[in-house]
Structures are given as C-alpha cells and as structure tokens.
Structure 1
Amino acid sequence: MQPKYKMIYDELKEAISEGEYGPGAKLPDEITLCQIYACSRMTVKKALDILVEEGLIYRKQGQGSFVLNKAMSTAPYQYEEFPIGGFDRSRHDEVESKILEFKLSFASKEVAHALHLKENEPVYDILRLRLYDHEPYVIEHTYMPVSLIPGITEDVLNRSIYAYIEHDLNMHIASAQQTSRADISNEQDHEVLGLKAIEPVLEVEQIAYLDNGIPFEYSFSRHRFDKFKFTSFSLRR
C-alpha cells in the first residue's frame, strides 16, 4: 500500500494534468485536504512540497497553493535546455558582465503576470551584456521583484545575481521555464553584439523559480547565432 502523501500527490497531479485545476487555479487549502484525505497536515504538506519541487504549483504566503502556467503542458516529452543562470561556469572561459542599463521601474502587465505581481509593483529593470573571454555573447534583459530580492546593486550585477541570491540572501534557486525562438537581429544587437543586419539571434525567454515555487526572475536573452549552442535531453512520461 502506497503512503498517504503519495496518493494525495498522485491525485492532485492528475487533476492538474487533466485541467481540473487550470493555470493560476487555487488548490484546496491544507485543512480542507486534511479533511478530504483523513490525514495529518504534515502528510498534506509533504505532498504539496513534491508538487512545488516539480514546478507544478507555487505557494503564496497566507493565500495558499496555486497552479503554475507551465504545469498544463501535455507534450509527450519534456525538454531541458540551457543551464539556469545562463552560463555554464564549469567552463574555463572568463565570464564578464557589462551593465548597459540598471533602474527601478513599474511592472507592466506582462511582467506582473510572469512574476505573480500586481501591475505597477516595483521591479529591477536590468540590461546587461555578457562576455566570454572579452567577446560579446548575449544581451540579457531581466526583471526581478524589489520586494522579493532586496539589495541588488551594480556591484552585484558585475558579479553574479544568482550567487548573491543563494549566498547572501540564503534563498535556493530550484527551476526555470524557458522558451527559445529565432529572431531577426535589431539595431541594439548590431551595435552591442557586433551582428550584421541580415544575421539572426536566438532569444531565450525565462521565468526562474525559487524552491518554494515563487518566480523571482523574468528575462529575455538574445544570443549570437554563431556563438551559442544548447544540449537537450528528453524524458518519456
């Protein structure tokens, strides 16, 4: 007989996959789930923790658990592309960051939706050029909630935001949802990345999540077509 938490997890996951709980839908609260399954709150919490770790739901303090937009994917394969954080630091190349723009702005409707914020909440608006061995590789445009990730400075941007989040703020980065697409290079790509007008870029849209399921980053990275590659693997469900 399987453990009770596994049964709760399986049934909630199936309900999410079949659309009973659609993107953004709120799951029953922990007390209600305890009553439904005649179990302890610790058992329910364990089931919900697994759903958070798998990127199916996220929690809002004092409000409950909600289904992530990406949880509704029904494709027969899942693809994992690009290391979280953009660059594989296991390589021996020298990685540099050049700040092109750094300001506070108010979340647009699109940014607010991606980061689960209210429209016009303050966000960091960061534009950086990333270089390998002094060569321009990618332009990153990043939005982060000021309330969730306090204290970002130019010094942090010149090093690693992710290291700052994990080491200084003691938060754990867990997962990212990424969408890649080909695009025609624009004037900024020509000027900053050194591309010609007819050359393309690969744009990667990313929403990154902490281990509690809360999104902390919404970004667009525009990569040089001739200096970027990705490796994927697939898992049959």
Structure 2
Amino acid sequence: MAAPQMPPPDYAASAPEVGTPAFSPLYQQIKGLILQSLQAGEWKPGEAIPSEMELAARFRVSQGTVRKAIDELAAENLVVRRQGKGTFVSTHAEQHVRYRFLKLMPDAGDREEEGPATRSILDCKRVRASAEIARALQLRTGDAVIQVRRVLAFGGVPTILEDFWLPGANFKGLSADQLATHVGPTYVLFEHEFGVRMVRAEEKIRAVAADAPQAALLALPQGAPLLSVERLSYTYNDVPMELRRGLYRTDTHHYRNDLS
C-alpha cells in the first residue's frame, strides 16, 4: 500500500485554524489572523507590526506567505509599508488618508485652502438603540448607543448637519467636550481614545429638500437642496461601528469621488 502523500510545507497540519473554508489559500488564513490581532488592539494605529520574518515564525509559514497576506492588507489601506522602516498599522492621522471618507469638496479652491471644519456639538447622549439603529450596528434593540448631533462649518459657513450613532460598549465615556475640543478628524479621536479604527464605509446618497429645523441649522432657506449621505462605517473583520447620517449643503460644495 502506497504511503500517503504529505502536503506541502505551507499547508502542514500545524497551520493555524481560522474558521475559513478548507480551500482558503493559506495566505488568506494568515491575513485573517493578522486582522484578529489588529481588531484585538495588539498593534495600535500608527504602530509597527512585527517583521515578515517574525510573523512567519509566529504562524509557522514561509515569509512569502506572510508577504502575500500583507500585500492584501496594504492594498486595502489597513497597513502601510515604509521603505527601510517596516510595516505600520494605518491611521486616519496620516495626512494622505485623514479625510478619505469625507468626499465633500469646496467649489472654490481645495480642502487645504478651506482649512479644517469648526464643530458645534448640539447633542451627545447615551440612548437605547431603536430597531433600525440596532439592525445597522448588529446590536439588539434597546442596547446602549451614543447618539451625537453636530454641525460642521467651513470658513465660518455651516455646511454639514450630522447625526451619528456608536455602540455604547465600545465608546464608554465619549463626551461632547471631547468631540468639540479634539483637533483633527474625529476618527483619529476614536483610534486614540477608544481603540476603534474605521477601515471602510458604505454610503447611500440621495437628494432632499431642507425642512425648517434643518434649514435653520445650516443657515439656508427652507426647501434648499441638500445631499443626504448615510454612511455605515466598519472596523476590522467587517464589524459595523458607526451609523452616520449627514445633510450636505450644495450651494458652496460638491460631492467628489475618484473612480479607478
């Protein structure tokens, strides 16, 4: 009777189990393990992850397998390679990605000339999730969420009215003062203070007319055209962490998306 064939080294029986189908390539399994470590906060945004050699030894696979996993993570903007320095966890604090989820651009000039937004926090409170909010954030109806309402002004002009909801368990202690005084993107605050990094988002956009309360907050006439943008943002492993609904004025700004 012929001896059973042994699998190639990268698919040895000692390879890590990550709950993926048996046919999943090993580099995808290693990618999943790295994502688990990112989600658990083993390496914080902006910090270096171990070298390919160290990760290969940790997971008992080849460096080529680790490299392929990191290639995919880099392509998804989850990590960034720096020549001669190593691989780092991506962060919204980096200049080239800090506003990558905000696609609203001024009609005149560019975002750098316009400068950062001025935030007016209208409300920040802990509430029970409605069925709709709970469904979006994969919570149970009645679970605690943080609900925030704010106006963002550019150049002194109120431009965006936003409502957003965050899982209460992940954002304990978030206050209106923190949101108002933080310098830089709010997602950087979430990274530094709560260990939550938003890595991707889905948006729905439609045209609406401003009702009386919305028009008052945005200093517009009632019925003025607005863009309604609903965004669901996710952290690692597609865990939803924020539902955001924004109303964008269109008389001074436009929505821009680069397609490739």
TM-score with structure 2 length normalisation? Answer: 0.59
- Confirm whether residue 214 of structure 1 aligns to residue 239 of structure 2: yes
CA distance in 2, matches of 1:191, 1:102: 20
- Confirm whether residue 125 of structure 1 aligns to residue 147 of structure 2: yes
Checking the alignment, whether the CA contact within 8 Å between 2:104 and 2:253 is kept in structure 1 is no
Quote the offset at 1:85 in angstroms. Answer: 5.2
Show the counterpart of 1:101.
123
Checking the alignment, whether the CA contact within 8 Å between 1:85 and 1:162 is kept in structure 2 is no
Show the counterpart of 2:212.
187
Quote the offset at 1:156 in angstroms. Answer: 1.7
Q: Which amino acid aligns with 1:102?
A: C
Q: More deviation in 132-141 or 194-203? A: 194-203
CA distance in 2, matches of 1:30, 1:231: 39
Quote the offset at 1:170 in angstroms. Answer: 3.4
Show the counterpart of 1:37.
23
Answer with 1 or 2: which has the greater Rg: 2
C-alpha offsets along residues 53-81 of structure 1, whole Å, 9 cap, x if unaligned? 999xxxxxxxxxxxxxxxxxxxxxxxxxx
- Confirm whether residue 146 of structure 1 aligns to residue 131 of structure 2: no
CA distance in 1, matches of 2:19, 2:115: 51
Quote the offset at 1:210 in angstroms. Answer: 1.3
Question: Cα distance 1:219–1:38, how it changes in 2: closer, same or farther (>3 A)?
Answer: closer
C-alpha offsets along residues 143-191 of structure 1, whole Å, 9 cap, x if unaligned? 0011122221112211353121112233332111111110011111221
TM-score with structure 1 length normalisation? Answer: 0.65
**1:48-87 equivalence runs, <5 A:** 83-84=100-101
- % identical equivalent positions: 23
Quote the offset at 1:100 in angstroms. Answer: 1.3
Find the residue that maps to 1:166 and give its secondary structure.
helix
Q: CA RMSD in A?
A: 3.3
Show the counterpart of 2:186.
161
Quote the offset at 1:195 in angstroms. Answer: 1.4
- Confirm whether residue 224 of structure 1 aligns to residue 210 of structure 2: no
Quote the offset at 1:124 in angstroms. Answer: 0.7
Q: Which has the higher contact order (CA 8 A, sep 6+)?
A: 1
Find the residue that maps to 1:83 and give its secondary structure.
coil
CA distance in 1, matches of 2:24, 2:113: 51
CA distance in 1, matches of 2:29, 2:112: 38
Quote the offset at 1:98 in angstroms. Answer: 0.6
- Confirm whether residue 136 of structure 1 aligns to residue 158 of structure 2: yes
Checking the alignment, whether the CA contact within 8 Å between 1:52 and 1:211 is kept in structure 2 is no
CA distance in 2, matches of 1:92, 1:205: 24
Q: Which amino acid aligns with 1:140?
A: E
Find the residue that maps to 1:223 and give its secondary structure.
strand
Question: Cα distance 1:93–1:116, how it changes in 2: closer, same or farther (>3 A)?
Answer: same
CA distance in 1, matches of 2:24, 2:133: 40
